[in-house]
Homo-oligomer: A and B are copies of this chain.
Amino acid sequence: MATKRKAYHHGDLAAELLRVGGELLAAEGPEALSLRELARRIGVSHQAPYRHFFDKDALLASLAAEGFMDLGRVVAKAAARHPNDSVGQLVAAGVAYVEQGLKQPERYRLMFGRQSSSPTPNSQQLEEESHAAFGHLVAIIERGQANGVFKSGDPQELAAAAWCQVHGLTSLLIDERLDEVPAGGKARRQFLAQMCGHLPDGLRRRAT
């Protein structure tokens, strides 16, 4: 996708760079990912990647865009499992979001790390994927407002608030900033559901 045609000398190096780059990213983190090491692993010269990506930043932007695609897919699928239940959709989407982030922590870090200053085609692709993923969230809010479940207001802003909640949770969990988090699969999911539920439920005590 990053470039065109089929296969010349190597056979779609661009795809290979993204594949092995993803592995290296997961293993070492964005900071430690080196273009030369990447080229070495694939078995090409240290300059070959520059035929397919303008920059190191451009490659990283493409890897980040992949992450946003996955994130959007996972969130949409989770929300689809709760038809006619806007709160359930929002919580399920939140839990799925966090779990996806925790499944690929280094990629998530990359996705929300520094943006490359000069815009390349790859960074533009990143922006598009990011906005698309956010769109799923807005859609959930809008449906909930139409059903009278969520309070009125700019759906973009309410969606932004929800995003802040799950993004904050994801980042803090990845950076191990939150103590006393259950490790196991089921207990953790319950914990995540509770954390994601605080926003729609409200922190304030309601009149009983």
Contacts and interface: CB of A to CB of B under 8 A. Distances in A.
**Chain A contact residues: helix, strand, loop or mixed:** helix
A44 interface: no
- Top 4 nearest A-B pairs (CB, nearest first) are A202-B202, A168-B168, A164-B168, A167-B168
29 contacts: A31-B31, A87-B204, A109-B114, A114-B175, A148-B205, A149-B204, A150-B205, A151-B203, A157-B180, A160-B172, A160-B195, A161-B199, A162-B203, A163-B168, A163-B172, A164-B166, A164-B168, A164-B169, A164-B172, A166-B168, A167-B168, A167-B171, A168-B168, A168-B169, A168-B171, A200-B202, A201-B202, A202-B202, A202-B206
A190 interface: no
Given A112-B172, A164-B169, A202-B202, 6 more contacts: A115-B175, A149-B205, A161-B165, A163-B172, A164-B195, A199-B199
Contacts of A158: 198, 203
Contacts of A135: none
Interface of A: 29, 31, 87, 90, 109, 112, 114-115, 130, 148-151, 156-158, 160-169, 171-172, 175-180, 194-195, 198-206
A95 to B, nearest CB: 13
Contacts of A172: 112, 160, 163-164, 167
Nearest to A160: B178
Contacts of A162: 203
Nearest to A154: B180
Given A160-B178, A199-B198, A204 B165 contact: no
Contacts of A200: 202-204
A168 B31 CA distance: 22
